[in-house]
Amino acid sequence: MTTDIRTSALAAIAGLAAAPELIDGALRTGDGDRELVVRDPSRDEVLARVRGASDAQLDEAAEAARRAQRTWEDVAAVERARLLRALADAVEARTDDFVGVITAELGAPLTLSRRLHVDLAVRDIRAVADALEAFEFEHRIGNSVVTERAAGVVLAITPWNYPLHQVVAKVAPAIAAGCTVVLKPSENALATAALFARCVVESGLPAGVLNIVQAGGRQISDHLIGHPAIDVVSFTGSTEVGAAIAQRAAASITRVHLELGGKSPSLVAPSADLATAVKVTLANCFFNSGQSCNAWTRLLVPRASLSEAKQQLAQLVGRHRPSDPWSEDARMGPVVSTERQSAIWADIAASIDRGEDVVAGGLGMPDGTEHGAFVRPTVVFDVDPQSPIAQEEVFGPVLTVIGYRDLEHGIELANATRYGLGGSVWAATSDDAAQIGRHVRSGQLDLNGGPFNPAAPFGGFKSSGYGRELGGYGIASFLEPQSFQY
Ligand code: NAD
């Protein structure tokens, strides 16, 4: 059964690799010099080699988006919403194709590819269509009529960790706002983006509204940031690359929107149910093999509860066992590449060298795996809050546990990194958690494990970026007010 899924996915990827670009409504082969590679991280096996887009193709995509923008903004909001729903339907109709392709290039277990990666993306698009139908594009202020105008042509640059969700979280609100888009997906998720390109064609979106170019990051920066056809750069990825993009965009005063890294806290108040908080935090941190920008990677518990938390972690950590993602019962796969595996191992090795208490996981391959980009789910216990392992994003399955003196100290530690993306607060009641959460500088906080809402704004404080994605706030991020005085 799973062999069949893998065989079909590999055949699909070979087809996608032959025409991975979408430029002005046409699926095309890249004619650039750079070779991009699709790899299965669970076997470290090359699945396809792809020629990236040339600079001339980047120009074509940007100019197609510019031409389409002139008419797209004037398409009625209700029709834009209809087309977005058609896009969601097209993605949903290809669920089985996406599941195979995402498992192949991300290494996500089949169940996670289906229930999370595809399903969430479909919900994201539909939430934007709902928000668009309710959106007020015009209002009066005294003798002025203020119209919310589309910000223009958006260069969208996305990462690989949620290969479909990160793409639609950006392009659906941009399109809803009346912008047109040149999307540059991650090289690690190019086949997912090429499959999404088929959905764009099938949805009936007019040519040029959404273009997809496959290229390296540096080429895109050099050629498209500051390009006369590009008005906005919307970037999701690491804080370091985001800062470089903002610097480059400054020269042409190009508007920038940044969704960057995180080191999010899970703050467990003394009144909380410790066992539930520990269990859910561990599952959240290891989810998607630890590759979530908003993963709760710092568990903050009262010092008096440290030993109880340690016992609970010891019992629970073994349930998170990486295995072959192509197996139907797999719950955790590899990380995205052997390069990322080496980088995560280097962070764990540095922690061991500092004498930190690695109570679970550590270096080496997980039991039952011999090759591929697997990492052992790791817990570093009672760590100094200023240690690099507690300050910097590892972007792998590594949880740090930190003790605090009193709640005020816990809040201080929750805020004591350069990031402010996500997090959770645990207390006797969700209202109590919300009161504590008001002091935590993060873009979104889950109270006692409240579930993700694809209609709510997503984005960061501090070095986690600026601007918001998803739902109505996402649409607002791609608008410029224009006022007419009567
Ligand atoms: P990355 O920064 O290495 O790459 C992100 C994208 O930028 C890729 O498409 C890449 O090709 C491109 N890129 C790289 N260098 C570039 C350059 N000089 N100019 C233009 N584009 C360039 O990040 P990644 O490894 O793909 O993703 C992981 C990072 O993304 C983590 O830091 C994670 O926290 C972050 N992330 C943030 C969010 C969020 O919403 N805040 C969501 C997902 C991931």
Which of 167, 214, 293, 417 has most ligand 1 atoms within 8 Å of its beta carbon, as the pocket-test mutant?
Answer: 293
* CA distance linking residue 113 with residue 293, whole number of Å: 17
Q: Which residue has the tokens 């209609």?
A: 455
**ipTM strictly over 0.95?**
yes
pLDDT given at position 354: 98
DSSP category for residue 380: E
Strands (E), 274-382: 296-302, 357-362, 376-381
Expressed in angstroms and rounded, the spacing between residue 422 Cα and the centre of ligand 1 is: 17
Model confidence at 2, pLDDT cuts 50, 70, 90, reads low
| pLDDT tops 60 at residue 1 | no
What's the 408 CA to ligand 1 centre distance in angstroms? 34
**CA-closest residue to ligand 1 atom 16:** 217
306 CA distance to ligand 1 centroid (A)? Answer: 35
Residue 299 has pLDDT above 70, yes or no: yes
Could you give the residue numbers annotated as active site?
259
Q: Ligand 1 centroid to 364 CA: how many Å?
A: 26
Neighbouring residues of 61: CB distance < 8 A, sequence distance ≥ 6: 21, 23, 24, 53, 182, 211, 212, 213
**Would the pTM of this model clear 0.80, i.e. be above it?**
yes
Q: What's the token pair of residue 194?
A: 């090429």
pLDDT single digits (tens) 256-282: 999 999 999 999 999 999 999 999 999
Q: Which of 236, 391, 452 to mutate to test the pocket of ligand 1 (most atoms within 8 A of CB)?
A: 236
What residues have CB less than 8 Å from 152, skipping those under 6 apart? 69, 179, 231, 232
Per residue in 179-236, pLDDT (tens digit) is 999 999 999 999 999 999 999 999 999 999 999 999 999 999 999 999 999 999 999 9
Measured CA to CA, the distance from residue 375 to residue 340 in angstroms comes to: 10
The string of DSSP codes covering 81-138 is HHHHHHHHHHHHHTHHHHHHHHHHHH---HHHIIIIIIHHHHHHHHHHHHHHHH---E
Residue nearest to atom 43 of ligand 1 (CA): 293
Question: Is the CB–ligand 1 distance for residue 259 below 6 Å?
Answer: yes
